[in-house]
A and B are shown apart, each in its own frame.
Chain A
């Protein structure tokens, strides 16, 4: 009788131990995945900052003005060549 109980308990113990090993492994695997995702997020953040910086650099007014004048032959607007529309249609 007691021999049987011992056998069952031993089997249960071994199974539990194996599950512990497995879940530990799973947790580490997931943790590494999380790490990777966080690193990717950080990288994207850096990229976003870089893009914002690029946007700011490209949208420099000096550059826009130079491009407008040189490439597009544009001139600054003056009030005497502007038709103003007032609210209420007067």
Chain B
């Protein structure tokens, strides 16, 4: 028997006659298919609804990441200027060159050689940097714009650049200790850069934008967070005076073969620090060979025994308490004074001296005799009020307090030696600051390193009369008969006091000296206080009157001229005796 269906199909039977149609299938089978189809559509619709309507975040995020970009808006660090607005430190945009080592190493050798040449490093060093497992290395930071343009033109694969800032210091070593410097991340490390880090540093901003195919920004999609640039900082420093002080001090250091030196100039009216110089110094633009000695800010952070520069204070106190008048006679013969077991002495016996003479000739015996009439507490109070043993409120990093021992433990010999500046330690800025009371008719004002508009209100320490009396004595000390005739300035009346102290080395007084001079000018209406300190002058001279006073004279003459101060003296020829009085130590 033959299969009819097979014959029919093979022969092309008409569709309607197909026996398959005649087959009666159960209805549920078609229903299942229909249901499966609709279920499929329902699932798609449900998924679409889920993605488009309910869980939208994921897709929107994915979409945004393909057209939106977050840009960082860098803030610039504030400039530091001097009191006249001249730039002392400024940040300029530069670039950091980084690399993906794997990609760079695939570049031809001559390109790598050229890259090393552009980055100013040897090819060996460059290859050493690239020979690392990391996927990102900085090749060189703070590269200037013209170099990075050439690097970009070289078109080495795997080289990228990041924008950053470099700080420039046009005054270099002259201003180094005041301004300080920042590190490679533009964060303050020293000086005012460190002290005012918070104000100087800006806050970076950011913005979300849509970029088009060509990388152009077409739209902001969120509100822009604007960058806040750092605030500019105007220092109290006068660039001109700073240079004058620096150049003369440098000359003195070379002439006297000194180990170090420091100088500070203060404005008597406003308490502003007009100049602050330390030697040795360094160039903040190139700090590759920096040593600790260069970094040291001796004006602020070094304490020394000030020596005779402290003598005016006990004398002022004795005058203030009406124990003596400027013309009271004091017996200083035989130039020696024994207190307890110890003996103090003068370099030369002076015989009977007036109180004026004691300061003018810088007699240790005379000062000690006056000091022993004072209560220890009075002396201590005075030292403390003028700032000795107190941390200077300058906001300058590392400023030291110095040391004044508590008066309760003072022995008479200590009180005597302290009256001429031994057994007490101060920084140069403290001594300069304390002389404000003589330059300012008896009151003292706080110091500042920032430009100040108005003059602050002073705190009275001694009466106006005492201040004027001491001023006369200090002028005599800086005159032809005093210990510092070389401090005289042609055209101006100056007043000041020398100091020469042995240095303490390992608790013993060594044959090394610190010469200093603190003074102010012009005497008729003081404008500036100038303090000079020369550490270990070792070219034959070590007295303050020979080493520090000439620096004071030269700097004061130029500074007063630079400040347009009218001369108050007609004396243009200065008398410097062949053998001026040597002070006592």
Contact = CB atoms under 8 A, between A and B. Distances in A.
B92 A62 contact: no
Interface in A34-90: 35, 46, 49-50, 52-53, 55-57, 59-62, 65, 76-80, 82, 84, 86
A46 to B, nearest CB: 6
B123 interface: no
A49 B170 contact: no
Contacts of A32: 216-218
B219 A61 contact: no
A49 B217 contact: no
A31 interface: yes
B14 to A, nearest CB: 48
B62 interface: no
Contact of A62 (B91, B212, B247, B490): B247
B566 A57 contact: no
A56 B491 CA distance: 32
Interface in B4-47: none
B126 to A, nearest CB: 29
B325 interface: no
Q: Which of B76, B88, B217, B239 has the most CB of A within 10 A?
A: B217
B219 A31 contact: yes
Contact of B170 (A56, A77, A78, A82): A56
B92 A53 contact: yes
Given A61-B243, A62-B174, A79-B572, A53 B168 contact: yes
Contacts of B91: 49
Contacts of A50: 92
A77 B247 CA distance: 17
A14 to B, nearest CB: 25
B239 A61 contact: yes
Contacts of B561: 77
Q: Which of B170, B171, B243, B244 has the most CB of A within 10 A?
A: B170
B170 A53 contact: yes
Contacts of B170: 53, 56-57, 60
A55 B240 contact: no
Interface string B236-251: 0001100110010000
A53 B86 CA distance: 9
B558 A76 contact: yes
B572 A80 contact: yes
A59 B217 CA distance: 41
Contacts of A79: 490-492, 557, 567, 572
Closest 9 CB pairs of A and B: A79-B491, A61-B243, A56-B170, A80-B572, A56-B87, A57-B170, A28-B218, A79-B490, A52-B87
Interface of A: 27-28, 31-32, 35, 46, 49-50, 52-53, 55-57, 59-62, 65, 76-80, 82, 84, 86
Interface of B: 76, 79, 86-88, 90-93, 168, 170-171, 174, 212, 216-219, 239-240, 243-244, 247, 490-492, 557-558, 561, 566-567, 572-573
Given A32-B218, A61-B239, A65-B243, 9 more contacts: A49-B91, A52-B90, A53-B87, A53-B168, A56-B86, A60-B170, A77-B561, A78-B490, A80-B490
23 contacts: A31-B217, A31-B219, A35-B216, A46-B92, A46-B93, A49-B79, A49-B90, A53-B87, A53-B90, A55-B87, A56-B86, A56-B88, A56-B170, A59-B86, A61-B239, A61-B240, A62-B174, A62-B243, A62-B247, A76-B558, A78-B557, A80-B573, A82-B491
